[in-house]
Structure formats: structure tokens, C-alpha cells
Amino acid sequence: MKRKTLALVAVFVTLSAVSIQCLAADPRAPVAREHERYTISIALEFSKKYRSPLLRALASLGTTTPNGYASGFLVADGLVMTSYHVVSGQLSPAKKKRLGFKPDDELEVKAFVNGCPVKVVKVDEAADLALLRVCGQLKQVRRATFATNPANGDQLLLIAQPGQRKMIKRGSFRGIYSFGGYDYWAVRIEGQDGFSGSPVYDNKGNIVGVFCLYDWRQGVGLISPATQAEKLLVDYGGPGPSHP
């Protein structure tokens, strides 16, 4: 029994050493360490759009009770970018049912960062992008840069935070992908609930796009291109174009 235990410990140590070695060799590891601070969690409170004045008054007296989470990331001091559908209140019938609503219920949503309500200041519905003004002392220490011409096969890194814990996914660029009459960029990165609004970086830390949905049939994630994300920021009056 003792020999078996020692053998298991030896295997665990070996696997751990291999994992550490692989992480050190991964050129995306420094990007994760440098940029994970900029990804933030967006708490969402969905409710029925049409409620009586009494119910609305009672709701305004209560505390915030999030029933959903998404991700976003700082692009300037106090300015967060995410997916438009995150703050639109639009959910699929399946997700409505999961939250206790009827499939035909019209919903509205309130968004919070660190418990403080956010203000939607600029949107691009076609590109599925939104800019939020958040309160508090959130600072963008390093200026956001955008990769506007990624190549097929480029290695990528997604940093999400749907709640308290940050999640990192690695993948690669797969080119243009048409969906719903709009050209997105496809990435070979596995998605899940709460990843909407997550930044996707290349090996140099440039933003390639904003994760917006996952096509389970094709096994690819779709991102709003960096070109559109940068345009939204510039149109709002943020920092001018910055490229690698």
C-alpha cells in the first residue's frame, strides 16, 4: 500500500511539473498575467418589462439580486466594453425559462459592476457591442491596442469573468464567419454561459475581438471584430487608433 501511495505522488508531481513547463513555454502566459486585471464581471438583474407601478416601487426598495452574469473589460478609465446583447435584456426562450420567466415574457435588465449600476453610453447593435460607464476607481493602466488584421491560425487567449472567478481559454483564429446577416470572426475557443463580452487577445496582448456567442454545431466561437470594437471606442470619443 505504501509503495502504491508513493507511486501516485510521483505521478502527480511529474504531471504538475509538465503542466508548469508547458505554461512557461506558452507565449500567451505573459498576456494572461498582464491583462487579466482588465477583465471584470458584470452582474445582471433580469425582470419582467411590464410590471405594475407598485411592483416597480417595491423592487426599487430592495437590494440588488443578480440572476445572471456576463463579462466585460476596461478600455479606458471607468469605461468598459461588453456585448450589446448583455445589456439589451434579450434572452432566448430556454434561458428565460431557466430564470423562471415565460418564453414570451419581455424582459429588461439592470447591469452592475462591483455593486454599482452602470450607464450604457454607446452601442453598436449590428456588431453586438456596448460601452458602459462604471463608477468607482477602475483604471486602465495600459492603453488598449487592437489587432485589426489577424491571420488564420494565430494563437489567441480569452479571459472571462462570469462571477467571482476569472477563466482563461486558449484557441486560434479561424477567419470570417457569416451569421445572421453579419460577418463575425470565428475562433476555435470553447464558449459557455457568461463568456459574452470577454476580450480575446493575440500573443502580443492586442485585442482581436469581443466574444459574443458560440456555435455548438460548428464548434466555433464568434467574436465581434477588433475593427468594430475600436470604431465604437473612437466614435464615443475614447483614445484614438492604436495598433501594434
Give CA–CA dist 67/75, Å, rounded.
Answer: 26
Nearest Cα to Cα of residue 142 among 35, 29, 28, 30: 35
pLDDT at 27: 62
Q: β-strands 68-76, 119-124: how paired?
A: unpaired
Over 90: is that where the pLDDT of 236 sits?
Answer: yes
- pLDDT for 61: 53
CB of 99 within 8 A of CB of 83? no
Using CA atoms of 68, 98, 129, 126 in order, give the dihedral in degrees to the nearest 10. -170
pLDDT tens for each residue of 218-228: 889 999 999 99
Q: Look-up: residue for cell 486602465?
A: 140
d(CA 25, CA 182): 37
pLDDT, average across residues 185-189: 95
pLDDT at residue 239 in the model = 57
Mean per-residue pLDDT, 6-13: 30
Q: What is the pLDDT of residues 26-35, one digit of tens each?
A: 667 888 888 9
Q: Of 54 and 192, which is predicted with more confidence? A: 192
- pLDDT > 50? residue 162: yes
5 compared with 141, residue with greater pLDDT: 141
In a domain, 141, yes or no: no
Last residue of a domain, one of 133, 167, 196: 133
pLDDT at position 51 is 62
Question: What per-residue confidence (pLDDT) applies to 56?
Answer: 54
* 0.95 surpassed by pTM: no
Predicted pLDDT at 16: 30
| Nearest Cα to Cα of residue 201 among 166, 168, 165 | 168
What's the rounded Cα separation, in Å, for the pair 135 and 140? Answer: 13
pLDDT at 15 over 50: no
Separation between Cα atoms, residue 76 and residue 40, nearest integer Å: 13
Say if residues 197 and 70 touch (Cβ distance below 8 Å): yes
Q: Are residues 165 and 94 both part of a single domain?
A: no
pLDDT tens track for 44-91: 999 888 765 655 555 555 566 888 999 999 998 889 999 999 999 888
Residue 161 pLDDT: 96
Predicted confidence at residue 179, as pLDDT, reads 80
In a domain, 104, yes or no: yes
49 and 129 together in one domain: yes
Percent of the chain whose pLDDT exceeds 90? 52
Domain of 97: which CATH number?
2.40.10
pLDDT of residue 192: 87
Q: Is 205 found in the same domain as 165?
A: yes
What are the pLDDT digits (tens) for 109-159? 999 999 899 999 999 999 999 999 998 777 777 788 999 899 999 999 999
Residue with cell 498582464: 34
Domain presence at residue 55: yes
The boundaries of the domain holding residue 175 are: 155-236
- Is 163 in the same domain as 198? yes
Please report, for the domain that includes residue 165, its CATH number: 2.40.10.10
* 49 & 86 share domain: yes
Q: Is residue 7 part of a domain?
A: no
Residue 187, number of CB atoms within 10 A of its CB:
27
Distance CA 146, CA 238 (A): 13
Cα(209)–Cα(220) distance, rounded to whole angstroms? 14
